[in-house]
Structure formats: structure tokens, C-alpha cells
């Protein structure tokens, strides 16, 4: 019953996003600020993590493909599928939850325990619409862009390590990336990115918004926000794969 109550409370929270709305001008400024906070501050972390994971994936794939009759370009094919379908949208969503999700939850939790949210409500402003909706919109806009950057960096990392170590020639790497490429892979990765961006932002904001207690509880809310977001991302990843990739 506790889980069902929590889920119901979460959906009521989402429903309040669109009641007693603020003006477009107000939301526009808030969304731009959140986009800068979410996107610009996360680019370096995403570039570093995805580049090194792409490089490691290339080395490990080459190590396991020991049969002489397997062409070397298969290495970059495997890296392509791993990075575009799983690494960029799903694995990076866990990093995103740890960095951005915990920040959202901590920010709202601090506002709650210092009674700033109560002050906003007293002024007749829907605090969920004013504080949370810009975060969710910014996450929906910026996380897909971060996913695209991650995919490019991962493939670039694989290319560089293949060229430096001599695992495979640059022409073979590029050929493997292009060989039998399915355009829907990109579409599916972006669908996942939009879904995961919404889940991380909404769940983290929900956990932070309903924080009670003091500074210790703010930290606990941030931890719960990250763990719940990760579980939701993994569940959504399975559901989306089942719906969109399973054979008819």
C-alpha cells in the first residue's frame, strides 16, 4: 500500500504542474537558467565519461574477438551498438541522475526546510508549476543533446584508441560504424533520452519537494532521488526495448 500511495502522490504532483500556470515570459527565463545549469555544467563530465567508455569498449571487444575469420570492422560495429543504444542514453542517465537529479532534489529540499516554498505558496503562486516545471522542460531539452554528445564522444574515443594502439585501421573503424547501420537506432536512442530526462527530473523534483525535517533529511532525499531515478530508468529501458524493438 505504501508504494501505491507514493505512486499516486507522484502522479498528483505531476498533475499540479499545469494548474495555476505562470506566464510564458516567466517560464522562459526560468527554463533558460535551468538549461544552463543542467546542460553547460554537465558537458565536461559527459564528454570525459563517454569518451573513456568508448575507448574501453573498443579495447575489450578487440580482446574478445580472437577468431581470425572475424573481420576487424566488427569491433566498431559492436562499439556502435553498445554506445548509441545503451551507453549514451541509459548508462549516462545514471550519471545524469547522480549529478543533476541529486542537485534538483537538494535544491528543492533546501527550499522546503527553509520555508521558501511555503512563502511562494502564501503569495498565491503554484510552487510546483513555478519551481518544478522549468526543471522538467530544461531536462527534456538538454538531456537529448547531452546524449548526442555522449554518442559522438564514445565513437570518437573508440576511433582514437583504435588508431593509437593499432587495434584496427581508421578506415576499418569507420567502415564498421557505417556497415548495416539502422537509422532507427538514433531515433530509439532519442526516444529513450527524452523518457529518461523526464523521469530523472520529475522524480528528483518530487523527492526534493516533499522533503521534511532538516539538513539530514535533505541529504536523504537526494539519495532517494538518485536511487529511485536509476530504478525508474532501468525499468523504462526494458519497457521501451520490449515495445519498440521486440519482433512482432
| pLDDT(240) > 60 | yes
Contact 128/170 with Cβ under 8 angstroms?
Answer: no
pLDDT, one tens digit per residue, over 162-177 is 888 888 888 888 888 8
Residue 17 lies inside a defined structural domain of this protein: no
| pLDDT(116) > 80 | yes
Residue 102 lies inside a defined structural domain of this protein: yes
Report pLDDT for 247. 56
pLDDT, one tens digit per residue, over 174-218 is 888 888 888 888 888 899 999 999 999 999 999 999 988 888 888
Residue 13 lies inside a defined structural domain of this protein: no
Report pLDDT for 66. 63
Give CA angle at 212 (209, 214), nearest 5°: 115
Residue 213 lies inside a defined structural domain of this protein: yes
Residue 19 lies inside a defined structural domain of this protein: no
Residue 163 lies inside a defined structural domain of this protein: yes
Looking at per-residue pLDDT, the higher value among 140 and 184 belongs to: 140
pLDDT, one tens digit per residue, over 15-59 is 888 887 777 888 888 999 999 888 888 899 899 999 988 888 888
The candidate with the shortest Cα–Cα distance to 81, out of 163, 171, 166, 189, is 189
Report pLDDT for 165. 84
Residue 136 lies inside a defined structural domain of this protein: yes
Average pLDDT for the chain: 86
Residue 12 lies inside a defined structural domain of this protein: no
| pLDDT(140) > 80 | yes
pLDDT, one tens digit per residue, over 52-109 is 888 888 888 888 776 677 778 788 888 888 877 778 888 889 999 999 999 999 999 9
Contact 195/95 with Cβ under 8 angstroms?
Answer: no
What does the pLDDT average to over 114-142? Answer: 89
What is the residue range of 232's domain? 24-240
Report pLDDT for 182. 81
Contact 204/102 with Cβ under 8 angstroms?
Answer: yes
Contact 225/93 with Cβ under 8 angstroms?
Answer: no
Number of domains in the chain: 1
Amino acid at each position: 500500500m505504501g508504494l501505491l500511495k507514493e505512486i499516486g502522490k507522484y502522479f498528483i504532483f505531476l498533475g499540479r504542474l499545469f494548474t495555476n500556470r505562470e506566464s510564458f515570459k516567466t517560464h522562459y527565463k526560468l527554463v533558460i537558467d535551468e538549461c544552463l545549469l543542467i546542460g553547460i555544467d554537465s558537458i565536461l563530465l559527459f564528454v570525459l565519461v563517454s569518451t573513456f567508455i568508448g575507448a574501453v569498449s573498443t579495447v575489450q571487444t578487440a580482446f574478445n574477438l580472437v577468431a581470425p575469420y572475424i573481420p576487424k570492422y566488427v569491433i566498431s560495429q559492436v562499439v556502435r551498438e553498445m554506445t548509441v543504444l545503451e551507453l549514451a542514453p541509459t548508462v549516462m542517465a545514471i550519471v545524469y541522475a547522480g549529478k543533476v537529479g541529486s542537485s534538483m532534489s537538494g535544491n528543492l529540499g533546501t527550499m522546503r526546510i527553509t520555508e521558501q516554498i511555503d512563502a511562494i505558496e502564501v503569495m498565491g503562486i503554484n510552487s510546483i508549476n513555478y519551481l518544478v516545471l522549468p526543471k522538467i522542460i530544461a531536462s527534456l531539452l538538454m538531456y537529448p543533446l547531452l546524449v548526442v554528445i555522449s554518442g559522438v564522444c564514445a565513437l570518437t574515443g573508440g576511433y582514437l584508441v583504435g588508431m593509437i594502439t593499432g587495434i584496427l585501421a581508421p578506415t576499418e573503424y569507420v567502415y564498421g560504424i557505417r556497415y548495416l547501420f539502422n537509422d532507427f537506432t538514433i531515433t530509439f536512442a532519442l526516444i529513450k533520452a527524452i523518457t529518461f530526462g523526464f523521469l530523472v527530473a520529475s522524480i528528483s523534483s518530487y523527492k526534493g519537494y516533499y522533503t521534511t525535517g532538516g539538513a539530514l533529511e535533505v541529504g536523504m532525499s537526494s539519495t532517494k532521488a538518485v536511487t529511485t531515478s536509476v530504478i525508474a530508468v532501468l525499468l523504462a529501458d526494458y519497457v521501451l526495448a520490449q515495445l519498440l524493438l521486440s519482433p512482432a
